[in-house]
Amino acid sequence: MASIVLVIAAIIEFVFRGLPAFFACEAVANLFGLEYIEGALPYVHAFGAVMLCLGVLLFIASKNPKKHRLVVDIGILRFSLGAIAQLITWAMMGSLHIFWWIHMAIDIILVGLLLASRFKLSVKAI
C-alpha cells in the first residue's frame, strides 16, 4: 500500500504542484482561474522547485518504503502542514478559491493514506 500511496503523492507533487508553480506565468494562472501577481513569481517558482524535488523524493521512496520510512513521515508532515496552511489562509482572508479547497482536500486524503501506510510499515517491522 505504501508504494502506491507514495507514487500517487509523487505525481500530485510533481505534476499538479511542482510543474505549474515552477513554470508559473499569467497563462498558468488563467488556466487555473487564479489571480496573477507578478511580484509573487520568485516565491512561486522557488516553491515549484521544492515541490519538484519532493515529488522525485516520494517516487524514489516508493521503490522501498520500508527503507525510506522517514520520507513517509516527511510526506505526512508536508501534507498536514499544507492543509493547516490553507485553513489559516481561509481564517485570515475569510474566503478561499475553490482551487485551494481542492488542494486542501487532496492533502487531507494523502495524510490519511500515508498514516495508514506508515502504521502498516511499523506493524510489519515489529
For 9-36, the pLDDT digits (tens) are: 999 999 999 999 999 999 999 998 888 9
Burial class (CB in 10 A: 0-12, 13-18, 19+), 35: exposed
- Locus of grid cell 489562509: 89
Residue 28 and residue 56: Cα distance in Å, rounded? 22
- pLDDT (average), residues 54-75: 96
One-letter amino acid for residue 21 of the chain: A
For 78-99, the pLDDT digits (tens) are: 999 999 999 999 999 999 999 9
pLDDT band at 124 (very low <50, low <70, confident <90, very high): low
pLDDT band at 55 (very low <50, low <70, confident <90, very high): very high
pLDDT band at 120 (very low <50, low <70, confident <90, very high): confident
